[in-house]
Amino acid sequence: MVSDDLEPALSYARISEDPLGMERGVTGQLADNRDAAPRYALRIVSEFHDDDISALRGAPRPGYNALIAALKAGQAKVVVVFQTSRLWRNRSERAEAIGLFGQLGVRIVATKGPHLDFSTAYGRGMAGLLGEFDTMESEVKSERVTGEARRRALEGKANGMVSFGWRREYDQDARGRVIGFRDVVDEHQAAVVREIVDLLLAGKSLKAVTAILNDRGEPAPGGKTWIYSGVRKIALRPANIGRRIYRGEDVGPAAWPPIVDEGRHAQVIALLGDPARITSRSGSRRHMLTYNANLAVCGVCGGELRIGKIRNSPLYQCAAKGCVGRSEPRVDEFVSLVLIDRLSRPDAGALFVHKDDDAQKARDELAEHRARLAAAADDYADGVITREQLARINSRLLPKVERAEAAALRSIPGVGLGLVAALVADPEKTWRGIDDVAQQHEILVSIGMFVRIVPTRQGAGFDSKSVEISWQGPPDPVVPR
């Protein structure tokens, strides 16, 4: 039984991370504090702790905040800790606490370190000096961890958990200790990733793909339910084609094998990455001809089209001056009839052929730059060049890769080859079966359709002459046969 004559004290413990058991966990620290307290004529009246929370970056610490509140409330003037580094590693937090502890006359008793009396100038000064060494230790550790993470990235290796589509296999030495790992294809998950890409390129919306996966009970990453954003993220990952991204930059080939064809990946990037699909005006695209002057314009002033309403009926209207307005359902149906008629002709497939010499040159340059990045990574792994030399090579080549990628993607229509074949084989059934307005929009852009809404006679009914449609060039009005 602890005597009431002993001075009351507060106990605090913290640990940020301890994967190898090199530090005492909070339970062990609190136990040490309890054992040590009687030796210093102290009795623990309250215990506080923060588990798996780093103090270096200023992460919120509810246990520490409660400790400060208890000191301010006068519960005790002594704090027992494992080491002073458990209290602070953040300079601003430490400076604030030194001032407060000085005002309150707090003492720190460390079970594995020096004791500090903040009522004295010496104690406050020592707290500052010891704290700077603690901060330096943490920052050196952070730099080391960051450096190792970058090294692994340049070698194409993962830094975190294995990604959906692969599984991790560990290498062990003769004593059973883990000395490395490699990520190999998980055939079932990889098939799901390829299915997502195929469904999107076949004209399915993100909503439809998400429903397909959830309806059949396909587990999402982490065993959760699929959501639209998760499907989109999976489809767009550079990891799918074996590219390693570090802090938003492509740093070279990944150590894991690719699971998606590069051509199909480029198409899905063009499809989902099209700004026309997601705009600040409306979120996801909901109208086939709006806000794209390369597809549809006002026939009077050349402005983009927007959606307005008259008596709750949606209209395509001139977004600039309101020059024209036509029924959205009637215009969409007319455009659909013209499209189906055009795709029913023998030369329909030619509409999807994009001749772009500059883009082909960009693709060739992209392949060359990526090959040079891969060669540099191999040279670094073989010790031919230093880390600094590899960093210089990457800093010069990566911007060229980004420019070549942007130029190459400009020539890739966001329409999968499977969907192209289906549109040519059965235009009406395929077009009517597309449930994603953004995909319909992309098809019209891809084949070079150009729509002008022009003034026409007043009166009831829809005048098809108010909608002029041309293909790949100056407007040349056409109507269905």
Using one digit for the tens of pLDDT, what is the confidence trace for 30-77? 888 999 999 999 999 999 988 755 544 556 788 889 999 999 999 999
Residue 286 scores a pLDDT above 90? no
**What whole-number distance in Å separates Cα of residue 406 and Cα of residue 356?**
14
Instruction: Tell me, rounded to whole angstroms, the distance of Cα 465 from its chain centroid.
Output: 47
Domain presence at residue 421: yes
Q: Which residue has the higher pLDDT, 230 or 283?
A: 230
Q: Position 472: which residue type?
A: Q
Same domain for 386 and 363?
yes
Domain presence at residue 478: no
Domain presence at residue 213: yes
Same domain for 191 and 117?
no
CA proximity to 76, closest of 67, 84, 65? 67
Same domain for 116 and 12?
yes
Same domain for 138 and 14?
yes
The total number of structural domains that make up the chain: 4
Domain presence at residue 394: yes
Same domain for 313 and 424?
yes
Residues 6+ away with beta carbon under 8 Å from 100 = 68, 71, 72, 106
Same domain for 376 and 304?
no
Using one digit for the tens of pLDDT, what is the confidence trace for 85-109? 777 766 777 888 888 999 999 999 9
Range(s) of the domain holding residue 393: 357-409
Using one digit for the tens of pLDDT, what is the confidence trace for 388-434? 888 888 888 888 877 776 665 555 555 666 777 888 889 999 999 88
Domain presence at residue 476: no
Torsion sign across C-alpha atoms 350, 351, 357, 361: negative
- Please report, for the domain that includes residue 250, its CATH number: 3.90.1750.20
Choose one of 390, 409, 428: the last residue of a domain.
Answer: 409
Same domain for 320 and 455?
yes
Please state, rounded to an integer, the average pLDDT across all residues of the chain: 80
Residue 274 scores a pLDDT above 60? no
Query: Tokens 């606490």 sit at which residue?
Result: 97
Q: Are 407 and 356 in contact, with CB atoms under 8 Å apart?
A: no
**What whole-number distance in Å separates Cα of residue 269 and Cα of residue 238?**
10
Same domain for 212 and 263?
yes
Binning pLDDT at 50, 70 and 90, where does residue 196 land? very high
Structure tokens at 393: 């090579």
CA proximity to 354, closest of 401, 404, 417, 406? 417
Same domain for 297 and 420?
yes
Domain presence at residue 481: no
Same domain for 39 and 69?
yes
Residue 21 scores a pLDDT above 70? no
Long-range CB contact pairs, 320-323, < 8 A, 24+: 323/298, 323/299, 323/455
User: If DSSP codes are grouped into helix, strand and coil, which group holds residue 311?
Assistant: coil
pLDDT (average), residues 444-457 = 85
The predicted pLDDT at position 29 comes to: 86
The predicted pLDDT at position 184 comes to: 92
Q: Position 381: which residue type?
A: A
**What whole-number distance in Å separates Cα of residue 258 and Cα of residue 213?**
22
pLDDT (average), residues 120-129 = 80
Domain presence at residue 339: yes
Using one digit for the tens of pLDDT, what is the confidence trace for 293-351? 888 999 888 889 999 888 788 999 998 888 888 889 999 999 999 999 999 988 887 77
Same domain for 305 and 429?
yes
Domain presence at residue 49: yes
Same domain for 362 and 421?
no
